[in-house]
Amino acid sequence: MSETALVKKIACIGAGYVGGPTMAMIALNCPEIEVVVVDINEERIKAWNSDKLPIYEPGLDEVVKAARGRNLFFSTDTKKHVGEADVVFVSVNTPTKTTGIGAGRAADLTYWEGAARLIASVSTGSKIVVEKSTVPVKTAEAIGKVLKRNCSSPGVTFEILSNPEFLAEGTAIEDLRKPDRVLIGGAETESGRKAMAALKWVYEHWIPSERVLLANLWSAELAKLTANAFLAQRISSINAISALCEASGADVQQVAHAIGTDSRIGPKFLNASVGFGGSCFQKDILNLCYVCETLNLKEVADYWAAVVTMNDYQKQRFVERVLGAMFNTVANKKIAVMGFAFKKDTGDTRETPAIDVCKGLIRDGAKVSIFDPQVTSDQVFRDLSTSKFEWDRPDYSRSHTRILDNVKVCSSPTEAMEGSHAICVLTEWDEFKTYDYQAVYDKMCKPAFVFDGRNILDHDKLREIGFIVYALGKPLDPFLQKNYS
């Protein structure tokens, strides 16, 4: 057996959206390696060991069930499994700081530091520690100091690698099965190169060698932040143009198609929407801005901060469109919010645009009825009750039943839309396209409005039925122009 084949046990600290699926895929393809996902959240671990997994991803069930009990395990016994592992992935939250220096921009590395202290305290042999969470540049340097100073066993060494994830929710399993690339960053030393080779060997079980890229630590850490910043920038760019399209009579989908056929630009991430969401984009850009500010690169920080500013503007603009169309008042009007997840094919609501849109409507007195096929009522109420940037801080004692007076979470689309004054489409679920909108229209208050924040519905057909339609980034309905002349 080659030296790189001596990875016998992998532990992953953190059983969330990244840790769970990634370890399941490694276990499936590396039957000779024992893979254990550990987390202090007992409920989450119980869910991973049950028939109903704690996260929804197409294809995830099959992967987990194929490997679970064979060489894939989920446990709350963090010390035992981290202590026994050759390689420890750290996939914990790196939320945005809410207080102190850098509040609202800097990454809070409390959980990462806690994980490092745990690893150091239980290590009796040398280990490879892999950054899987998205972290600021130079985090590995700080983590190395924590590991070294907190390990009492003589002769134990730690090699820190950066192995950022590039998963898209909704397609995470396919992204793990056939990734564009796997990036591994390590120290440019003999031991660093050995550690990178060991992790590369793991991935080469199912990924072609040429797709596993090696880099230095700082490049790998920065590549993740940069990738998310570029993707978010494209969304904000087309959303900025969507506002111009509405003001000028252009059609943002036609503009996006025209520029997307340019091979230098390409068609991806050019769908105008009510805004981007998810756990990474805003957080990573704000962190990138903070890193730039600390390095006295103010102009660079300002450039990237504008991407987040445009995203906030798009959400506010959508709310103002709703208010303006509905005679500048939504007080006591029932508004059906279709979709709460930040994108289709996931139940993830972190930083979903629906939170800010719903809060904006609620502030103006609307009675919001929410339907999403994958988001629970507990999650909706938790999100609408939580302060900005607090969603990423697990508080297992927090009550999940706090009810907001003007919010109702519905178990069916009919319940959400019946008797409403308006429908707001905030997630691009495919099933929203297939509803009988004539039947919906017949049971709505008139005039009946549709505000399509994802441009997924048949707007001409809706207008034939009698709806007043606002399609984001498209020429305004004459009814709506009266309010914006």
Binding residue numbers for NAD(+): 14-19, 39, 44, 92-96, 133-134, 169, 280-283, 350
Cα distance between residue 185 and residue 445, in whole Å: 58
Active site residues: 280
| Residue at 93: amino acid letter | N
Dihedral over alpha carbons 367, 372, 376, 378 (to 10 degrees):
-20
CB neighbours (10 Å) of residue 186?
A: 28
Three-class secondary structure assignment of the chain: CCHHHHCCEEEEECCCCCHHHHHHHHHHHCCCCEEEEECCCHHHHHHHCCCCCCCCCCCHHHHHHHHECCCEEEECCHHHHHHHCCEEEECCCCCECCCCCCCCCCECCHHHHHHHHHHHHHCCCCEEEEECCCCCCCHHHHHHHHHHHHCCCCCCCEEEEECCCCCCCCCHHHHHHCCCCEEEEECCCHHHHHHHHHHHHHHCCCCCHHHEEEEEHHHHHHHHHHHHHHHHHHHHHHHHHHHHHHHHCCCHHHHHHHHHCCCCCCCCCCCCCCCCCCCCHHHHHHHHHHHHHHCCCHHHHHHHHHHHHHHHHHHHHHHHHHHHHCCCCCCCCEEEEECCCCCCCCCCCCCCHHHHHHHHHHHCCCEEEEECCCCCHHHHHHHHHCCCCCCCCCCCCCCCCCCCCCEEECCCHHHHHCCCCEEEECCCCHHHHHCCHHHHHHCCCCCCEEEECCCCCCHHHHHHHCCEEEECCCCCCHHHHHHHC
Give the pair of three-digit tokens for residue 324: 């303006």
- Strand 127-131 and strand 158-162: the pairing is parallel
Nearest residue to 44 (alpha-carbon basis) of 69, 25, 17, 79: 17
Residue list for the binding site? 14-19, 39, 44, 92-96, 133-134, 169, 280-283, 350
Question: What is the maximal distance between C-alpha atoms in the chain?
Answer: 77
